[in-house]
Amino acid sequence: YVLLAPIGLLYDRWGARVLGAFGAATCAGGQVLVWLSIVGARIGQDAVTCYVFVVGMFICDFGSMLNSFSFMGLIWHFPGNQSFMIALINATYQVSAFLPMIVEWAMYAFGLDLGTVMLIWSGLLVPITYICWRLVPSQFEYFERAKKSLGMPLPRPPKDIQVCRMMTRAWAILRHDMCDHVASGVALSAGFAFPVFYASMAAPYGKELFGTKQ
């Protein structure tokens, strides 16, 4: 949740397309670090590379949040289904729970080790970065669609990132329809609770992959 505020500021400044492509590229970089940590564990350097794993996971998490938030750029392409679009954006975190199953299937089906699968996964994120750059709406397209849907233009974001001013304005907007915003926050918090429950399965899943919970 802490990262959502700076991500929103970056979105206002550079738009959905830049955020989506940069987020996918960031995930690729984080995945490479995760791969390096796995290689380090394989050659007995786990005491050193375990820190690389932590850094890689944080980078992947930040990149995935950037990429997911970029789909807010489609909000005015479907003005009658904005709630549905937001639900799809948040559902990406829950759907990602299937990815470890795909990793496990690939390991058993093709006889690959975890490091190789992670390296392939990193490589797949490179074309995804290009796809995001080509398909995600630019900031110009976002404002044009908003103008067409609303019948009036949205105010342009400032050219400089003015954190205090933008956060103050955001709070002023949230104060309107406070009950609706609180209900939305509670619903989102409940939805994000499920990945925490899923994380409790890390030890048994690690035992399946590596033969030990450690």
Asked whether the beta carbons of 21 and 64 are under 8 A apart, the reply is: no
Asked whether the beta carbons of 137 and 145 are under 8 A apart, the reply is: yes
Lowest mean pLDDT among 124-128, 132-136, 151-155: 151-155
The pLDDT of residue 205 is 58
- By percentage, how much of the chain surpasses pLDDT 90? 21
Helix (H) or strand (E) holding 77: none
For the residues 53-63, what does the mean pLDDT come to? 89
- Identify the band that residue 208 occupies on the pLDDT scale cut at 50, 70 and 90: low
The DSSP code for 189 is H
* 44 three-class SS: coil
Q: How far apart are CA 185 and CA 105, in angstroms?
A: 36
Within 13 Å and on the Cβ side, how many CA atoms surround 203? 4
Q: How far apart are CA 157 and CA 48, in angstroms?
A: 44
Centroid of chain to Cα 135: 17
Asked whether the beta carbons of 64 and 89 are under 8 A apart, the reply is: no
Tell me the backbone φ, ψ of residue 175, rounded to 5 degrees. -65, -25
For the residues 178-193, what does the mean pLDDT come to? 79
For the residues 117-132, what does the mean pLDDT come to? 92
Chain position carrying tokens 């995804």 = 128
* 161 three-class SS: coil
